[in-house]
Amino acid sequence: MNAKAVFLDRDKTILLPHGGEKYIYRVEDFFIPESYIEALRNLIESGFLLFVVTNQGRIAKGHLTEEDVEELHHCLDLILKYNGVFITKYEFCPHNPRGSLAPYNVICGCRKPKTGMIDVICDSRDIHKAGSWMVGDSEIDMLAGRNSGLRTIQVMTGSEYDSRYADFIEIDLVSAVSRILKEDEKSG
């Protein structure tokens, strides 16, 4: 049986930066609203698997390491699990062709808007793409989702303009989850 999934961008989708921070590097750089945790729990209770797919091209620029990203994901995972939310898998792309740090400064197939991270997950699991979603704050998230055959929702927590590639545009993750559950009910 095919599983339904929600692929989530990380920064400015699940994690919101403290203050005026532009990038999230460390645990102290972000917060997760309680309402977001509850919304993610609602997705799980409705039978969705959750996956995080995030570009971390600042690795290629030497601003952080893969270990830094894994440490942040470990901390995020502890917070979420403590609150009854289970992310099935975290995938991140460390590449950026504009970076200066080899071997990360290359063009790859995993950096969104390419579909490599989503493909890896879908290939290793029985994911029903037509019943699954990509939620993110940027046009590249919407392109990655659309090119993977997923329905897409752009949240406006990290963007100032609407993506023409979004199937739906919602104000934040709570509204996005509400939309997913409403659409899932219609098709179920």
For the stretch 62-102, pLDDT in tens is 999 999 999 999 999 999 999 999 999 999 999 999 999 99
Number of structural domains (the chain) is 1
Q: Please tell me the total number of residues recorded for the chain in this structure.
A: 188
User: From CA 28, how far away is CA 71, in angstroms rounded?
Assistant: 12
For the stretch 99-115, pLDDT in tens is 999 999 999 999 999 99
| 175 neighbors 157 (Cβ within 8 angstroms) | no
Angle of the 139-147 helix axis to the 116-124 helix axis, nearest 10 = 40
Q: Active-site residue 9, yes or no?
A: yes
Give the domain range for residue 52.
4-187
User: From CA 12, how far away is CA 165, in angstroms rounded?
Assistant: 18
Q: Active-site residue 172, yes or no?
A: no
For the stretch 17-54, pLDDT in tens is 887 667 887 888 889 999 999 999 999 999 999 999 99
pLDDT for 1:
56
| 52 neighbors 87 (Cβ within 8 angstroms) | yes
| CA-to-CA dists, residue 126 to 4, 110, 141, angstroms | 9, 20, 22
Instruction: Tell me the CATH number at 99.
Output: 3.40.50.1000
Distance from chain centroid for Cα 57: 15
